[in-house]
Amino acid sequence: PNSLNLYISDEQQMIELGAVLADSSGLEGVIYLQGDLGAGKTTLSRGLVRSLGYTGAVKSPTYTLVEPYELERGAIYHFDLYRLADPEELEFLGVRDYLSGGALCLIEWPQRGEGWLPAADLEVRIEVSSPGRQLQLLANSPRGEQMLEAVQA
């Protein structure tokens, strides 16, 4: 199957899911993170980045739009396009360089960059469902399917 629903009951579980996704991605590809403000997109991103050994703060790059993490095991580029006024601005951010391979790109608010972003290997849709979060994972490529399989294992 290329889609999976799961209930993630707290922040810690969200962080652990991030680690599974990072590992199974091979640190390459594109993950879209969808959901309202406060859904948990950055929390999941933090789990991915921290699983590579990064110990600093991982915040939503709301004003800078992208935060690069270049770590020993590989690179993660974390985008938050919430404040992107015009998708054409993505050209000036050097998105093409980030997306040219050899890195994992996490993109919050991908709908703001529609038409200017590469397709996602995996889409993660998050909804608040107190006390936790209901997630839908959609795989759009073999890499995405590999991530789904790892989550199910």
Contacting positions for ligand ADP (CB under 6 A): 8, 10-11, 13-14, 35, 37-43, 60, 131-133
Q: Which partner, Mg ion, ligand ADP, none, binds residue 78 by CB below 5 to 8 Å per kind?
A: none
Task: Pick the stretch among 48-56, 58-66, 111-119, 130-138 that binds Mg ion (CB under 5 A).
Answer: 58-66
Report, in Å, the least distance between residue 130 CB and ligand ADP: 8
Report, in Å, the least distance between residue 56 CB and ligand ADP: 16
Does an H or E element contain 95, and which?
Answer: helix 95-98
54 or 141: CB nearest Mg ion: 54
Residue 24 binds to Mg ion (criterion: CB under 5 A)? no
- Sole binder of Mg ion in the list 25, 42, 43, 51 (CB under 5 A): 42
Quick one: which of 15, 76, 66 has its CA closest to 44?
15
Report, in Å, the least distance between residue 13 CB and Mg ion: 18
Q: Which residues pair with 132 in a beta bridge?
A: 129
Q: Which partner, Mg ion, ligand ADP, none, binds residue 18 by CB below 5 to 8 Å per kind?
A: none
One-letter amino acid at 60 equals S
**How far apart are alpha carbons 111 and 132 in whole angstroms?**
24
Contact (CB, 8 A) for 67 and 48: no
Tokens 């962080």, located at residue? 15
Report, in Å, the least distance between residue 102 CB and ligand ADP: 25
Quick one: which of 106, 116, 121 has its CA closest to 35?
106
Quick one: which of 23, 14, 32, 20 has its CA closest to 137?
32
Report, in Å, the least distance between residue 39 CB and Mg ion: 8
Q: DSSP 3-state assignment of 41?
A: helix
**Interface ranges with Mg ion (CB under 5 A):** 41-42, 60
